[in-house]
């Protein structure tokens, strides 16, 4: 089963470019997340998205 990623904002939705619509695994909420989620890959020093990552670094 797919991981629950609804707590992570969709980086494409923010720019109006998400093509997945209701099937998107990420959040399309316009409200800021209640928690500040830090990228687990950034914490390990290997986030491949860098500045484009939708999570906090």
Domain boundaries, the chain: 11-52
Can you give the pLDDT at residue 36?
Answer: 66
Can you give the pLDDT at residue 2?
Answer: 56
pTM above 0.75, yes or no: no
Residue pLDDT tens, the chain, 57 long: 456 778 788 889 888 999 999 999 998 987 665 556 788 889 999 999 888 887 788
Can you give the pLDDT at residue 1?
Answer: 44
CA distance 28 to 23: 11
3-class SS of residue 12: helix
Can you give the pLDDT at residue 23?
Answer: 94
């Amino acid at each position: 089963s797919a991981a629950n990623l609804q707590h992570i904002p969709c980086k494409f939705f923010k720019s109006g470019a998400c093509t997945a619509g209701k099937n998107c695994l990420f959040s399309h909420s316009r409200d800021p997340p209640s928690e500040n989620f830090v990228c687990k890959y950034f914490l390990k020093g290997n986030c491949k998205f860098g500045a484009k990552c939708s999570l906090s670094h």
